[in-house]
């Protein structure tokens, strides 16, 4: 697969690079960013943390705002940040910020006009890791994390594929999308009106019936304006109780939904993942 380097920046002894490539899963040109820590080389392959971004975001948010590279450089973890959705003139879109380009929700769409491009689940689970592992000095040890819509994506992907991931974490995830306005709007468009199909992309539903556990850490800001209507962390806590899932969920009073919150606790998340990636 041919990829094109868009930009390169050195920091903390490693390299942040952006690339574009033609995606077979999404049928369009996609962009992703990768931070390669100084330990990464042809003779020393490093594990990877995949970061999934939230609504209206892209690969740039976490790389520019979180400070994630400092700790990744210390620990020797590569960071891969894909875009949130397919983009381009021929890709279906919507006027709302919470549907269409910028709002792929990490599902495989089954409904027109979305299904020809919006196969984000397949892209994140299959295509992107194959590309990363065949191109860069990384091994096949994977962790996954994300924020908001991306936190939802990280949780469902790890819960559905426990054999692929050493650990999962999330900041302010959309924990129960079948019961919140963001999720209901997106799932109706992408998956159709049969709500029975929605549960396979709902972290609370998946966690409640899990039998194969991936170490999980969730942080939620107590001052987040979206916590009650959209994020519903209590649904995830109840799900973990039902299945005895080893979920570490913390509410941090006063913190909001922004990258100020993420940057405050991103180091804890990387060190959490390192415990399992380094086994």
Domain ranges of the chain: 3-277
Of the residues 53, 148, 169, 204, which is catalytic? 148
Of the residues 117, 257, 269, 273, which is catalytic? 257
What would the pLDDT profile of 254-264 be if each residue is shown by its tens digit?
999 999 999 99
pLDDT-derived band at 9 (thresholds 50, 70, 90) equals very high
- Please indicate whether residue 212 is annotated as part of the active site: no
CATH no. for 3-277: 3.40.50.1820
Which whole number is the average pLDDT over 64-82?
Answer: 98
Report which of 133, 177, 137 is spatially closest to residue 153, judged by C-alpha positions. Answer: 177
Of the residues 93, 147, 224, 235, which is catalytic? 224
Percent of the residues in the chain that have a pLDDT greater than 90, as a whole number: 99
- Please indicate whether residue 269 is annotated as part of the active site: no
Q: What is the mean pLDDT of the chain?
A: 98
What would the pLDDT profile of 24-60 be if each residue is shown by its tens digit?
999 999 999 999 999 999 999 999 999 999 999 999 9
pLDDT-derived band at 279 (thresholds 50, 70, 90) equals confident
What would the pLDDT profile of 95-129 be if each residue is shown by its tens digit?
999 999 999 999 999 999 999 999 999 999 999 99
- Please indicate whether residue 148 is annotated as part of the active site: yes
């Amino acid at each position: 697969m041919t990829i094109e380097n868009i930009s390169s920046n050195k920091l903390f002894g490693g390299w942040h690079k952006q690339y574009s490539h033609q995606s077979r899963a999404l049928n369009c040109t996609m962009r992703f960013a990768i931070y390669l820590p100084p330990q990464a080389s042809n003779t020393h392959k490093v594990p990877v943390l995949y970061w999934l971004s939230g609504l209206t975001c892209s690969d740039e948010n976490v790389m520019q705002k979180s400070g994630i590279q400092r700790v990744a450089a210390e620990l020797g973890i590569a960071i891969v940040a894909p875009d949130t959705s397919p983009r381009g003139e021929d890709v279906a879109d919507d006027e709302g910020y919470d549907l269409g380009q910028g709002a792929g929700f990490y599902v495989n769409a089954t409904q027109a006009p979305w299904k020809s491009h919006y196969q984000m689940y397949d892209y994140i689970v299959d295509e992107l890791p194959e590309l990363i592992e065949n191109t860069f000095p990384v091994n096949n040890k994977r962790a996954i994390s994300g924020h908001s819509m991306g936190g939802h994506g990280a949780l469902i992907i790890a819960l559905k594929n426990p054999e692929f991931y050493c650990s999962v974490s999330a900041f302010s995830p959309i924990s129960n999308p079948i019961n919140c306005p963001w999720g209901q709007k997106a799932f109706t468009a992408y998956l159709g009106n049969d709500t029975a199909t929605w549960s396979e992309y709902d972290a609370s539903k998946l966690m409640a019936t899990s039998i194969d556990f991936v170490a999980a850490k969730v942080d939620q800001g107590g001052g987040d304006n979206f916590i009650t209507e959209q994020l519903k962390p209590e649904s995830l806590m109840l799900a973990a109780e039902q299945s005895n899932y080893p979920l570490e969920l913390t509410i941090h009073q006063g913190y909001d939904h922004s990258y100020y919150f993420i940057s405050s606790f991103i180091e804890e998340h990387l060190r959490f993942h390192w415990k399992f990636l380094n086994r």
